[in-house]
Chain A
Amino acid sequence: MAGALASRRKATNLAVAVLASTAAVIALAVLASILWTLLARGLPALRFGILTTSMAPTGENGGLANAIVGSLIQDGIGMLIAIPIGVLAGTYLAEYARGSKLGEVTRFVSDILLSAPSILVGLFVYTLMVATTRSYSGIAGAVALAVIAIPIIIRTTEDMLSLVPVALREAAAALGAPKWKVVTLIAWRAAGAGMLTGILLALARVAGETAPLLFTSLGNLNWSTSLAKPMASLPVAIYQMASSPYEDLVQIAWAGALIITVGVLAINILAQLTVGRRR
């Protein structure tokens, strides 16, 4: 290249490279600050007692045991509800409703639910379950999480099933298999890893949700595994303790923040590995 135009283009290229690098540095700095804060405040506060003791007021060496267990229960039951509905609905969209108007509408509706703010889901379940039974409950929390997980599972199930080669399905049909066998024995197996990834991603998402639990399972300072009563959960416990005026409770909140982040990241890594394995 030669001439004024060429050098201008070179200069522009360089300028953009500098800008992009600056952007990368800024973005990196911000995200590093967040991770650093999490580690710097959370790690010192982590002690084994946090996993074994329930929440307690200031000065009593409390922990997060009841919140962790409450989260496990609500996440688990929420997923138990969401997986069958999500997988079957996703199968419906991928296998039975391709190209039909009803299928398009359902897909659209699922996308709306997918991007619906989670606090609205909390409002919905409050009106449906808490107001009617006059009681905050763990099961209401689980249902709220299920409603959030279902559209995620539908989306990933449908996408994964669409990836299964038509040839496979045609081969099975040529042997005389009925449609339901083609779907369950062939398509589900072929897309299995991808579907599992979607389920894990949905789990990671609901594990970190706070807002929908605020009006459904409310929170519980004590150890409780009853689904009919208010139930503690890790995100809500963190939220309550983080704004406490007592330094020791704020510390526990940071430890909880670290625990939940590690948990969510672990599930995500597991999901990535699952996808990678089968490819």
Chain B
Amino acid sequence: MTAQLSKTLRRAVLLGAAFAFAAPAVAAEITGAGATFPAPLYAKWASAYKAATNNSLNYQAIGSGAGIAQIKARTVDFGATDDPMKPDAIADAGLVQFPAVIGSEVIIVNLPGVNSLQLKLTPEIIAAIYQGKITKWDDAAITKINAGVPLRSMPITPVYRSDSSGTTAIFTNYLTKAAKNWTLGAGKTLSWPTGSGGKGNDGVAGNVKNTVGAIGYVEYNYAAANKLTMTKLSNASGKFIDPTAASFNAAASQADWAGAPNVTTNMLALPGANTWPIVSATYILVPAKAADPKKTGEVLAFFDWAYKNGAKLAVDLGYLPLPTTAVRRIHAEWNAVTRK
């Protein structure tokens, strides 16, 4: 038996070695890591890019904070974050930052008997919930604007991001701008006084799914794909609005990319009767001068392709492609990047 085994083993080892060292026809392979917010879209873009050019992109959705940490450590070819870095931080780390696509956040709830887009919420109510001031679903503030919605005296569990998250940054920046009673500040991580944490957008979605009476904030895709119960939100004009492509666009179209400082814009709580209040761009970080500049060149080539060919894929998933004014600014930024 041992003799037979060793012959098979020998064959297996040889086969394995052949496998390990046989490289397919050399095509570019880039690795990126960061925000979960745009992850479903980057995966789709990567797949289409591979079909078109045979170059592959490996994107790992580990959260904006982790993406920034990993690109600073140069363990990946690019980082992705929804919370743009400040100019001096970018310069310190030797990076260049530019936007990739625009997405939106929605509020999801787990309330048996309440249908999607039935419940109405205002930023003040959301702020009070996440600060622990409103603790039950039948609170007067909520029932006042939701006549006819079955709300029981059930405790509310606010769900937030347990990891360092650009989605949190967008959410808290929105509350800072739109809710007068929000005192916790804004950023990728917060000291949440109450509630529970989920890792990644998918973790928050899963947490809300598994907790009756929970409320959470996620990127639109995660709510739509999971068929979670979304809510209406009141915007700056006081109207309760549904999260749709039209309302996302109403916000995105107001952004002034041509005059945007550092190619970053704020699309939160913008005026307009049909505007969705939580819309934001998401950003990419590349080294200004990497150890292997060709890799950075590949990264920029990918995003260039995405700007030109990825618009339909983005819209299909509920994201918004960047307008040409933005793309022009981005190309100007790329002059600072060593690509060869």
A/B contact in complex, CB under 8 angstroms: yes
Chain A residues, CB < 8 A from B206: 243
Establish whether residues B222 and A226, one from each chain, have CB atoms under 8 Å apart when the complex forms.
no
Q: Is the pair A72, B16 in contact by a Cβ cutoff of 8 Å?
A: yes
Q: Is the C-beta of B226 less than 8 angstroms from some C-beta in chain A?
A: yes
Q: Which residue of chain A is the closest to B51 with respect to CB atoms?
A: A60
Q: Given the known inter-chain contacts A57-B47, A136-B75, A245-B205, please indicate yes or no for A192 contacting B13, CB distance below 8 A.
A: no
B95 interface residue per 8 A CB criterion = no
Partner of A245, one of B2, B29, B222: B222
Given A80-B13, A218-B60, do A58 and B40 touch, yes or no (CB 8 Å)? Answer: yes
> A41 → chain B, closest Cβ, in Å?
16
The answer to whether A57 and B40 touch (CB under 8 A), given A136-B75, A245-B202, is: yes
In the assembled complex, A108 has its CB within 8 A of some CB on chain B: no
Q: Contact check: which of A223, A225, A230, A247 meets B31 at CB < 8 Å?
A: A230
Q: How many residues of A contact B (CB 8 A)?
A: 35
Which A residues touch B23, using CB under 8 A?
A: 225-226
Bound-complex Cα distance A220 to B73 (A): 19
* CB-defined contacts of B202 to chain A, threshold 8 Å: 243-245
Residue A277 contacts which of B1, B57, B59 (CB distance < 8 angstroms)? Answer: B1
Q: Mark B190-222, 1 if CB is under 8 A from A, else 0.
A: 000000000011110110000000000000011
Using Cβ atoms and an 8 Å threshold, which residues of chain A touch B20?
A: 73, 77, 225, 227
Give the A-B pair count, Cβ closer than 8 A. Answer: 85
> In the complex, what residue of chain A is closest to B73 when comparing beta carbons?
A134
Cβ of A222 and Cβ of B225 under 8 Å apart? no
A 80-104 to B, binary, CB cutoff 8 A, 1 in contact else 0? 1000000000000000000000000
Q: Assess whether A221 is in contact with B43, with CB atoms less than 8 Å apart.
A: yes
A219-B60, A222-B56, A243-B203 known; A134+B31 contact, CB < 8 A: no
| Chain B hits for A245, CB < 8 A | 40, 201-202, 205, 221-222, 225-226
Give every chain B residue within 8 A of A60 (Cβ-Cβ).
Answer: 47
CB contacts (< 8 Å) of B226 on chain A: these are 245
Return 19 A-B CB contacts under 8 Å, by A number: A57-B44, A57-B46, A58-B40, A58-B43, A69-B19, A73-B20, A134-B74, A221-B58, A222-B50, A222-B58, A224-B56, A225-B21, A227-B20, A230-B31, A243-B206, A244-B202, A245-B201, A245-B225, A247-B225
